[in-house]
Structure 1
Amino acid sequence: MVNPSKIIEGGVEYSLGTFDGKSVEYDFQKILVYLDSKGKLLFGKHFKIYDDDRDIILKLCNYFVRDQKACEENEIDLDKGILLSGPVGCGKTSLMQLLKHLVPHQRPYSLIPSRNIVFAFNHLGYKTIEDYGNGSFFCFDDLGVEPIGRHYGKDCNVMGEVILSRYELFISNKIKTHATTNLNAQELEDLYGNRVRSRMRQLFNLIAFHKNANDKRK
């Protein structure tokens, strides 16, 4: 039997908690040890888990391991995706790349820079929006800083259209979408309009870093 409470990385076995044959009781301190080690493997030896981020990481871990009680206490809906917001350099992208490794038994998502989707639209047109409106799992990185798309002389708010497509998928098939953004709720509404912002509320759980969170890239 596969034991989901243990993960092997680089020949080292990490325990994430205890498994009774039916469910895992996760231990956050053990999870942090694993995430720190996996982060160094993914991003280099400079990677570290910051004490200031522990509350955010705990919420994200509770979501990904599907701890229903903890998520209910934090008003996190397990059926929705995650919109992780915060200032530039606070570690949003790294965390979303890292945390999917915590649950290798769950279906993984692909992390795609939003600007790359716009560049693809400029080249291929509306087929790009169709491609991202399929049943695959995605995390759209840096939502809101991408340029406006332009194909054969026509402008298109590409990510706004993609979000509407992802919303339809969520309603019909419970297909989740995740995203990271540097923008706040008002900035997102100004950029994408009230209709898209309304869909985003239904599509995402908002988890936000403090606006003064440190820039880890400095």
Structure 2
Amino acid sequence: MDNPSKIIEGGIEYSLGRFDGKCVHYDFEKILVYLDAKGKLLFGKNFKIYKKDKKILLKLCSYFIRDKATCDKYEIDIEKGILLSGPVGCGKTSLMKLLRHLVPAQRTYEMIPCRNVTFSFNHLGYKTIEEYGSSRFFCFDDMGVEPPGRFYGKDLNVMGEVLLSRYDLFLETNRKVKTHATTNLNAEELEERYGNRVRSRMRELFNLVAFDQNARDKRK
């Protein structure tokens, strides 16, 4: 029988905790060792897990492994998606790319840059809204700084429409369809960008997990 508490990467077996035959009792420190190793495989040898990010990682890991007790402590709803916010270069995109590997048996999500969604709309029109308003799982990267959408002379806030579609789907499927996103913007800036109606839907779609605004730019 497979042991879901172990993952093999690059020929090395990593233990994430203890499997009792029914469920995995995860060990956060062991998860961090695995994420550091997997991060180096995905992003190169300079990738590292920073001590300052441990609290953010604890929240995110607890969410992905569905640790309800820890999620309740941080007021995270396991059924909603994650909106990971923070300054440019703090590692949001890398973490969301990395964390989808943590529970291989779980349905994963595609990482889609928001600017790609807008570019697609500009070429294909409303078909794009249907495509991203589908029951696939997505993480929309860099939300709020994508260019405006325009198709046959008509302007549209494309990501706003996609989020409204995904909110409707979230309700229709009894909260089974997950939407995640990353953003550099704060709540006020998001509201300014997408309007009050989208912002209120976002509160119901997402758990907000935020880096400190002074988090360092790890790309420097």
Q: Aligned partner of 1:193: which letter?
A: G
In structure 1, stretches of 5+ residues that fail to align are: none
Cα shift at 1:36: 0.3
CA distance in 2: counterparts of 1:20 and 1:50, whole angstroms:
31
CA distance in 1: counterparts of 2:92 and 2:178, whole angstroms:
18
CA distance in 1: counterparts of 2:200 and 2:4, whole angstroms:
36
Kindly tell me the number of residue pairs found equivalent between the two proteins: 218
Cα shift at 1:3: 1.2
CA distance in 1: counterparts of 2:74 and 2:216, whole angstroms:
23
Cα shift at 1:2: 1.8
* 1:39 is the counterpart of 2:39: yes
* 1:161 is the counterpart of 2:185: no
CA distance in 1: counterparts of 2:59 and 2:2, whole angstroms:
26
The match for 2:110 is: 110
- Following superposition of structure 1 onto structure 2, how do residues 1-218 of structure 1 map, counting pairs within 5 Å? 1-173=1-173, 174=175, 175-218=177-220
Q: Aligned partner of 2:38: which letter?
A: K
TM-score scaled to structure 1, two decimals?
0.99
In structure 2, stretches of 5+ residues that fail to align are: none
Runs of 4+ in 1 over 2 A off after TM superposition: none
RMSD (CA atoms): 0.4
Q: Aligned partner of 2:131: which letter?
A: D
Fraction of identical pairs, as percent: 74
Q: Aligned partner of 1:17: which letter?
A: G
CA distance in 2: counterparts of 1:169 and 1:113, whole angstroms:
21
Q: Deviations over 1:141-181 (max 9, x none)?
A: 00000011001111000000000001011111121100000
Secondary structure, aligned partner of 2:155: strand
TM-score scaled to structure 2, two decimals?
0.98
Secondary structure, aligned partner of 2:190: helix
